Chain A
Amino acid sequence: MNRIIILLLGLAVTIMAQAQDYQKRPWMALENRVGLALGIGNVKYLDQNTSPLIYRSRPKNLRLFYNLESNTFLFAFDLDLKIGSNVPKYHPDRTMYFQEEDYTGKKEDKKFPAGGSLMAGRISIGTYYKISSTQESTFKIAVGGRISNELFYPQGWTASGLFNSLSFSPEGLAQHWIDEHNSITASIRLPVVALLTRPTYDNTVSRPDKTMVEGFFENSRWVSPKSFLAPAFGIRYDYQFNQHWGAALNYEFGWYSIDTPQPFRATQQTLLANIYHQF
Chain B
Amino acid sequence: MQNIMKSYNSILRTILFIFFPGLFIMASCEEELIGQEKVNTPVNNFEHFWKTFDTHYGLFEVKQIDWQHVYNQYRSQVNDQMTDEQLYNVLTSMIVPLNDNHVNLYPTNGELPVFPGGVIRYKDGELTILKVQEDYALNVVKNYVTDLKELSPNMRYGTLENNIGYLNLTGTDSKKDTEKNLEGALNDLRQTQSLIVDVRGHYGGMDAISQYVAGRFASENKLYMTSRKRNGPAHENFTELTEWYCKPTGNYQYTKRIILLTSRFTQSAGETFTLAMNEYNHVILLGDITAGGFSDNPNFELPNGWIFSLSVGDYRAADGKSYEGIGIAPDVIKITTKSDLLAGKDPALEKAIELASH
**Chain A interface residues toward B at CB < 8 A:** 44-46, 48, 50-54, 88-91, 94-99, 101-104, 111, 114, 157-160, 176, 178-179, 181-182, 184, 186, 200-204, 206-212, 215, 235, 237, 251, 253, 255, 261, 263, 265-267, 269
Smallest Cβ-Cβ distance to A179: which chain B residue: B7
Interface residue? B299 (CB, 8 A): yes
- The answer to whether A95 touches B109 (Cβ under 8 A) is yes
**Given A44-B30, A178-B14, A184-B14: A54 touches B37 (CB 8 Å cut-off):** yes
Q: Report how far A182 CA is from B13 CA in the complex, Å.
A: 13
From B56, B132, B208, B232, A101 is in contact (CB under 8 Å) with B132
- The answer to whether A265 touches B35 (Cβ under 8 A) is yes
**Given A103-B137, A204-B312, A210-B208: A267 touches B34 (CB 8 Å cut-off):** yes
**Given A182-B11, A202-B296: A158 touches B307 (CB 8 Å cut-off):** yes
- The answer to whether B108 touches A103 (Cβ under 8 A) is no
- The answer to whether A53 touches B113 (Cβ under 8 A) is no
Closest beta carbon of chain A to B318's beta carbon, Å: 13
- The answer to whether B307 touches A206 (Cβ under 8 A) is no
Q: Is the interface of B mostly helix, strand, loop or mixed?
A: mixed
Q: Report how far A164 CA is from B206 CA in the complex, Å.
A: 22
- The answer to whether A204 touches B296 (Cβ under 8 A) is yes
- The answer to whether B35 touches A202 (Cβ under 8 A) is no
Smallest Cβ-Cβ distance to A98: which chain B residue: B114
- The answer to whether A44 touches B298 (Cβ under 8 A) is no
- The answer to whether A208 touches B208 (Cβ under 8 A) is yes
From B35, B174, B305, A91 is in contact (CB under 8 Å) with B305
- The answer to whether B132 touches A102 (Cβ under 8 A) is yes
- The answer to whether A200 touches B34 (Cβ under 8 A) is no
Interface residue? B127 (CB, 8 A): no
- B130-155: CB near A (< 8 Å → 1, else 0) gives 01111001000000000000000000
Q: Which residues of B contact A45 (CB under 8 A)?
A: 34
Smallest Cβ-Cβ distance to B109: which chain A residue: A95
Q: Report how far A255 CA is from B14 CA in the complex, Å.
A: 24
- The answer to whether B338 touches A206 (Cβ under 8 A) is no
Q: Report how far A217 CA is from B19 CA in the complex, Å.
A: 38
14 residue pairs of the A-B complex, CB under 8 angstroms, read A51-B300, A52-B38, A52-B301, A54-B34, A89-B37, A97-B113, A201-B230, A201-B232, A204-B229, A208-B208, A237-B15, A251-B22, A263-B35, A267-B30
Interface residue? B40 (CB, 8 A): yes
Smallest Cβ-Cβ distance to B244: which chain A residue: A208
- B179-192: CB near A (< 8 Å → 1, else 0) gives 00000000000000
Q: Report how far A95 CA is from B113 CA in the complex, Å.
A: 10
- The answer to whether B229 touches A103 (Cβ under 8 A) is no
**Given A157-B299, A200-B229: A178 touches B11 (CB 8 Å cut-off):** yes
Smallest Cβ-Cβ distance to B208: which chain A residue: A210
Smallest Cβ-Cβ distance to A253: which chain B residue: B26
- B245-262: CB near A (< 8 Å → 1, else 0) gives 100000000000000000
Q: Report how far A227 CA is from B123 CA in the complex, Å.
A: 53
From B19, B133, B296, B304, A206 is in contact (CB under 8 Å) with B296
- The answer to whether B7 touches A178 (Cβ under 8 A) is yes
Chain B contacts with A in 225-241, Cβ cutoff 8 A: 229-232, 239
Interface residue? B111 (CB, 8 A): yes
**Given A103-B132, A208-B242: A267 touches B211 (CB 8 Å cut-off):** no
Q: Which residues of B contact A212 (CB under 8 A)?
A: 206
- The answer to whether A101 touches B338 (Cβ under 8 A) is no
Chain B contacts with A in 97-115, Cβ cutoff 8 A: 106-114
Interface residue? B321 (CB, 8 A): no
- The answer to whether B33 touches A265 (Cβ under 8 A) is yes
- The answer to whether A53 touches B305 (Cβ under 8 A) is yes
Q: Report how far A204 CA is from B211 CA in the complex, Å.
A: 17
Q: Report how far A261 CA is from B233 CA in the complex, Å.
A: 11
Q: Which residues of A contact B63 (CB under 8 A)?
A: none
Interface residue? B48 (CB, 8 A): yes
Q: Which residues of B contact A181 (CB under 8 A)?
A: 7
Interface residue? B1 (CB, 8 A): no
- The answer to whether B30 touches A204 (Cβ under 8 A) is no
Closest beta carbon of chain B to A148's beta carbon, Å: 20
Q: Report how far A235 CA is from B34 CA in the complex, Å.
A: 22
Interface residue? B288 (CB, 8 A): no
- The answer to whether A158 touches B298 (Cβ under 8 A) is yes
- The answer to whether A211 touches B296 (Cβ under 8 A) is no
- B1-41: CB near A (< 8 Å → 1, else 0) gives 00100010011001100110011001100110111011010
Q: Which residues of B contact A89 (CB under 8 A)?
A: 37
**Given A178-B7, A184-B14, A208-B242: A98 touches B23 (CB 8 Å cut-off):** no
- The answer to whether B341 touches A251 (Cβ under 8 A) is no
From B10, B231, B243, B244, A201 is in contact (CB under 8 Å) with B231
Closest beta carbon of chain B to A123's beta carbon, Å: 24
